[in-house]
Structure 1
Amino acid sequence: MITYYDDRSVQVTSTAVRVDGRTYPLAELGMVWHRRGSRSWRVLAGRGAIGAALAGPLVAAVLGVGLALWLHRSAVVTIAIVGASVLVGLGVGPLADILFEHLDRSYARGSRELEMWARWRGRPVRLLRTDDALRFGQIYRAVQRAMEPAQPTRRQNSIGSSGSNPRPRSRP
């Protein structure tokens, strides 16, 4: 038995798919497909908040430099305002790394609910529902790989080797 995917709630092997305690033997599974739900506005708003948090200190630093030049104060005051603005801009560096990591994880998780369906014993059944796009992709690909050996092998001719192009045959 080959294990293609294994976590706390999902296991995909060469013999079956197990999801939350339910077992679906591969021999009983037919077509597998997926559905995408609507976008989650909560996730999109979170991404926008991270973007604002990244841009806020930088905008403040640029405004500080502009303010220092616009005020036409003494050189010492101008240098102090520009220095403070630059420090604010540089201070976002360590914070930016954390925020970019959260933003990257947000895109890996996705902004939609995803479902995997299969035809099992002649009827459609939902195998999995998750909002984690990365995990969903890993599980979906594992199910595809597990089902590949069960598919009938097609004889493939390479173009040019026999002098003719293979054509699909219609059934009577």
Structure 2
Amino acid sequence: MITYYRDPEVVVTSAAIHMGGRDYQPDELARVWHRHGPRSWATVIERGASGLLILFPIFLGALGVALALIMESPASTTVILGGGGLLLGLASVPTADVVLNRVDRSYDRGSRPLEIWGHVHGSDVLLLHTADRRRFGQIYRALQRALESRPVPR
């Protein structure tokens, strides 16, 4: 027996497939396919808001520098405003790293749920529903490999 994929909820081997709380033999699955669910606009909006979050410290820093140059104030106030603006602008670098890491993880999760379906004993059965694209890809490929390893009927 070859194990193609294993996690707490899904096990795909050459002898058996455990998905969705049920057990299947590879011979029971006449065919397998996948579908994309509806797009999650909340995820798309979150990504856009994250992009704006990166620009916010840069905007505040530029505003501070512009005020320092435009205002007719004592030199110390100009230096404080200009220096504060530069520091705020530089603060966007670590902020951008954190925010871009979060955006990367959101792309790993995907903006659509993914489903694996199978044709079992004459009916279509939902085998898996997940939003994790990486996990979905690993399970789908493992399922394909398990079904490819079935003995060919003579």
TM > 0.5 between the two? yes
Unpaired segments ≥5 residues, structure 2 = none
Residue pairs, 1:10-29, within 5 angstroms: 10-29=10-29
Moved over 6 A (4+): none
Structure number with higher relative contact order (C-alpha < 8 Å, ≥ 6 residues apart): 2
Report the AA paired with residue 121 of structure 1: H
Structure 2 contact 3–14 (Cα < 8 Å) conserved: yes
Partner of 1:163: none
Q: Deviations over 1:98-134 (max 9, x none)?
A: 2222111100000001111011122211101111222
Partner of 1:37: 37
Please state whether the residue corresponding to 1:39 is helix, strand or coil.
coil
Residue pairs, 1:49-128, within 5 angstroms: 49-128=49-128
Shift of 1:57: 0.8
Report the AA paired with residue 92 of structure 1: S
In 2, distance between residues paired with 1:148 and 1:73? 77
Please state whether the residue corresponding to 1:112 is helix, strand or coil.
coil
Structure 1 contact 110–134 (Cα < 8 Å) conserved: no
With over 3 angstroms needed to count, the CA separation of the structure-2 counterparts of 1:72 and 1:142, relative to structure 1, is farther
Report the AA paired with residue 114 of structure 2: L
Unpaired segments ≥5 residues, structure 1 = 153-172
Please say which of residues 76-85 and 37-46 is displaced more in the overlay: 76-85
Question: How many residue pairs align between the two structures?
Answer: 152
Structure 2 contact 113–129 (Cα < 8 Å) conserved: yes
Relative to the length of structure 2, the TM-score reads: 0.88
Report the AA paired with residue 2 of structure 1: I
Please say which of residues 3-12 and 142-151 is displaced more in the overlay: 142-151
Report the AA paired with residue 89 of structure 1: G
Report the AA paired with residue 131 of structure 1: A
Relative to the length of structure 1, the TM-score reads: 0.79
Shift of 1:80: 2.0
In 2, distance between residues paired with 1:141 and 1:75? 66
Please state whether the residue corresponding to 2:8 is helix, strand or coil.
coil
Structure 2 contact 14–150 (Cα < 8 Å) conserved: no
Partner of 1:46: 46
